[in-house]
Structure 1
Amino acid sequence: MSERLQVKEASSLMVFLSAQLQGWARSKIKQRLQTGCVSVNGIAITQHDYALSEGDLVEVGATAKAASSSPSQLEILYSDRDIIAINKPAGLLSVGNAKETQQHALAILRNQLSRRTQPIKLWPVNRIDRDTSGVLLFATSREMREAVMNKWDQAEKTYLAIVEGCPNPAQGTIDQPLRLDDVEYRVHVGAHPDAKPAITHFKTERTNNMRTLLQVQIDTGRQHQIRAHLSWLGYPVVGDERYGTKGDRMGLHALSLTIIHPKTGKELVFETPAPADFFALMNQTKLKAVDKKPVKAASRK
């Protein structure tokens, strides 16, 4: 059962809900906001101070609308004859493997784009973890995949991460090498004969001192790089069971990917905002802006 409320005059969302939902405890209203149960004009909103305009329709549900882990259709951010960028939801594998029987983005997209007489073939250019949402890129031929990958060192890869704690300094660079343990399926940080170079840059966007929203850029693209690096630094990604503490949703989102198109030579930017359930991870404490003045790199050796 949900409440549908029409806005009569401009107001902030929390003030409006407090006035309209008589008998509701303030903590209950906050809980609905933070768990993605409140929408404005059909879009989930978690900000208490979100500005409402006259005529807006506010809906308050008992629970957030759950995203299917295996949707039948995926949001396409960009497509041409050679490459296709999609917005992968959290909880969905990028591609399948011999050990996994669950549906995955590659199969869904292939089915979505294929016609009965014209099946389509796709090759993954990059991969993001099952519990990470955001930009995922595919090529329509093996040759195009290799062409994109040949210039992968020029690609710009930007993520949003919500971590436990408040990094100090507020921004920096982690340049510790990484090594994947195939037995534990866990990445180890630090010098080792089998370790490969990995560079992660991070910058604090917002914090409530218990959890922090970071913008993260990676020069390399090692498996579990951001998760392993931030955990090693002492600020694990929220909801990351492997490198931190288990949660309902992992606080990692592939915000944008910038590449050079191999055929045209043009720069292409694929970007998709993080969903409401991602920002809900910031918990119940009000966010505050932080000083973003440059600081020394936070690399620990």
Structure 2
Amino acid sequence: MKQFTAGANEDGARLSRFVESVTTGLPASLLYKSFRNKRIKVNGKRQTPDYRLHQGDLVELYINDEFFAAAPQKPVPARRTPPLKVVYEDEALAVLYKPAHLLCHGDRTGDVSLVDAFIAYLAQKGEFDPQAEASFKPALCNRLDRGTEGLVVGAKTYAALRDMNTIIRDDLVRKEYLTITFGVPAAGRHVAYLRHDEKNNKVKVQAEPGEGFKQIITDVALERTEGPFALCRIGLVTGRTHQIRAHLAFLGAPVLGDIKYGNRKWNEKTGFKTQALCAVSLTFAQLPPENTLCGLSGKTIRLEHPVILDKFASLARK
């Protein structure tokens, strides 16, 4: 039998999710069987999977030890994490700058990621103790492609993660990007349809609806032009995979440096080896008062002096 005490970051968490987070390889069938057989208790009493935990609840799991991670035999050396640039921070969340080429989350390559750096930063500040948390780890609420730079929101607490995910899901935050295109796209709101080929991690965009295609809406404003290049401010109304890059390519003005949807000749000619795309601002709408992050209502968080402006200026000298 294992015991866990719900902390502040488990307050309000669904009991079944909590059990999944503190076990390893537990099949869903066995999880729900354990609920039916009274092998999962809270404060000594049987509870249902949808019970919401309260801080201080004692959770008892009468589940085989094989489904709990074994304690490490020797300390695992800490991985070196990249420097972290914090653009905005309060007690619940932080808005971080992700440089191009840094992953938001780890993958099979084992490369360090932005979330690794975020967790290390909070641990160093004393705001997160992995030994004291039963299930929660600081997490990112949105993500950017590896080659895209810009703002990513990190949640310090479970409540912040839950409520920021609600804000994003309910379209209560507007994300703006700066990008450099080869070709000058028409300004205005553009509507098209996108289908994601997950096997090849590439999308197709077309003008009309079709099977498997989802609507995309992209706002384009022209900031400056320089010869065949344009500096554009992009507003995402929908947020699909590779939306900005694929939609601009469909409009005949691909993102400069984009090796997947861009113009190879001009990428090589200008020396741009990754997409010139940067998430530069987050603007929050009026948030519901019951949302713990309602203090962000009407707030705009901006990345000051984004590097992409210097990249665009360099085109005039080529």
User: Shorter-normalised TM-score: what interval?
Assistant: 0.5 to 0.7
What's the CA shift for 1:209? 2.7
Aligned residue in 1 for 2:89: 79
> Taking structure 1 as reference, are residues 282 and 231 closer, same or farther at Cα in structure 2, changes over 3 Å only?
farther
Structure 1 equivalent of residue 302 of structure 2: 271
Show the 5 A alignment for 1:163-174: 163-167=181-185, 169=186, 171-174=187-190
2:92 partner letter? D
How do residues 125-144 of structure 1 correspond to structure 2 at under 5 angstroms? 125-144=141-160
2:130 is the counterpart of 1:101: no
Superimposed CA distance per residue, residues 231-271 of structure 1 (whole angstroms, 9 cap, x where no aligned partner):
11110000000101353232101010123563152323221
Instruction: Say whether residues 1:118 and 2:123 are aligned partners.
Output: no
Counterpart in 2 of 1:92?
Answer: 102
Residue in 1 that maps onto 2:213: 195
Counterpart in the other structure of 2:7:
none
Matching residue's letter, 1:250? Q
Please give the alpha-carbon distance, in whole angstroms, between the structure 2 residues aligned to 1:265 and 1:282.
38
- SS, match of residue 73 in structure 1: coil
Name the one with the larger helix percent: 2
Question: CA 1:283/1:73 → structure 2, altered by over 3 Å: closer, same or farther?
Answer: closer
Partner amino acid, structure 2, of 1:107:
D
1:222 to 230, 233, 240: 240
CA positional deviation for 1:221: 1.2
Give the distance between the partners of 1:86 and 1:134, measured in 2 at CA: 8
Distance 2:147 2:313 in 1: 17
Identity of aligned residues (%): 29
Cα distance change, pair 142–193 in 1 and its aligned pair in 2 (3 A): farther
The offset of 1:80, in angstroms, is 2.1
The superposition leaves residues 84-143 of structure 1 with CA deviations (integer Å, 9 ceiling, x where unpaired) of 11111111111123x332111001111122148823821211111111111110112344
Distance 2:122 2:257 in 1: 33
Cα drift, residue 282 of structure 1? 5.0
1:239 equivalent among 257, 277, 285: 257
Runs (5+) with no aligned partner, structure 1 = 1-69, 287-301
Structure 2 SS opposite 1:148: helix
Mapped to 2, the partners of 1:263 and 1:225 lie a distance apart of 30
Is the 1:162–1:282 Cα contact (8 Å) retained in structure 2?
Answer: no
TM-score under structure 2 length normalisation: 0.62
Q: Distance in 2 between matches of 1:232 and 1:112?
A: 40
Name whichever of 198-207 and 177-186 sits farther off.
Answer: 177-186
CA contact (8 A) 2:118 2:154 kept: no
Which residue of the partner structure matches residue 285 of structure 1? 316
Query: Which protein shows a greater Rg?
Result: 2
> Which contiguous aligned blocks of 4+ residues in structure 1 show a shift greater than 6 angstroms?
none
Aligned to 2:15: none
Q: Give the partner amino acid of 2:226.
A: N
CA distance in 1, matches of 2:305, 2:81: 18
Bigger shift: residues 139-148 or 223-232:
139-148
Instruction: State the Cα deviation string for residues 145-189 of structure 1 (Å, max 9, x = none).
Output: 23222222121110001000122x3x1222112221012110111
1:197-256 CA-to-partner distances (Å, cap 9, x unmatched) read: 211000110001311000000011111110010011110000000101353232101010
Distance 1:72 1:83 in 2: 19
Q: Gaps (5+ residues) in structure 2?
A: 1-79, 131-135
**Equivalent residue for 2:177, pick from 159, 177, 188:** 159
Paired residue type of 2:294: G
Specify the code of the residue in structure 2 equivalent to 1:236: P
Matches within 5 A, 1:252-263: 252-259=277-284, 262-263=291-292
Looking at structure 2, the residues matched to 149 and 251 of structure 1 have their Cα atoms a distance apart, in angstroms, of 27
**Counterpart-to-counterpart distance in 2, 1:212 and 1:218:** 18
Query: Does 1 or 2 have the higher relative contact order (CA < 8 Å, sep 6+)?
Result: 1
Residue pair 1:72, 1:112 contacting (<8 A) in 2 also: no
Name the TM-score, length of structure 1 as normaliser: 0.65
SS at the partner of 2:215?
coil
In structure 2, the residue matched to 1:248 is 273
Contact 1:82-1:140 at 8 Å conserved across structures: yes
Q: Deviations over 1:264-298 (max 9, x none)?
A: 52323221035436532455437xxxxxxxxxxxx
